[in-house]
Amino acid sequence: MTDPAGPGAADAGAPREAGAARDAGAAGDTSVPVDAEVPTASEASVGRGSKRLTSDGPWRRVSPKYVGVEIASSIITGAVLSGVSVFVALVFGAWFGWWMLGAAILLTLVLLVVAPRRARAIGYQLRSDDLLFRQGIMFFRIVSVPYGRMQLIDVNRGPLARLLGLSDLKFVTAAAATGVSIPGLPEAEADELRDRLVELAESRRSGL
Segment 5-34, tens digit of pLDDT:
444 444 444 444 444 444 444 444 433 333
Secondary structure of the chain in the HEC alphabet? CCCCCCHHHHHHHHHHHHHHHHHHHHHHHHCCCCCCCCCCHHHHCCCCCCCCCCCCCCCEECCCCHHHHHHHHHHHHHHHHHHHHHHHHHHCCCCHHHHHHHHHHHHHHHHHHHHHHHHHCCEEEECCCEEEEEECCCCCEEEEEEHHHEEEEEEECCHHHHHCCEEEEEEEECCHHHCEEEEEEEHHHHHHHHHHHHHHHHHHHCCC
Higher pLDDT, 17 or 76: 76
pLDDT attached to residue 178? 58
Strand order in the sheet with 141-146: 60-61, 123-126, 130-135, 141-146
Q: What is the pTM of this model?
A: 0.67
Backbone torsions φ then ψ of 50, nearest 5 degrees: -70, 155
CB of 60 closer than 8 Å to CB of 124: yes
Average pLDDT over all residues of the chain? 77
The amino acid that residue 156 corresponds to is N
Alpha carbon distance 119, 61 (integer Å): 8
Domain residue limits, the chain? 60-120, 123-205
Q: Is the pLDDT of residue 192 over 50?
A: yes
Vertex 113 angle, CA 81 and 105, to 5°:
25
CATH number of 123-205: 2.30.29
Segment 133-188, tens digit of pLDDT:
999 988 888 988 889 888 889 999 989 899 999 999 998 887 655 568 999 999 99
How many beta carbons lie within 10 A of that of residue 140, not counting itself?
9
In 3D, which of 38, 39, 56 has the Cα closest to residue 47?
39
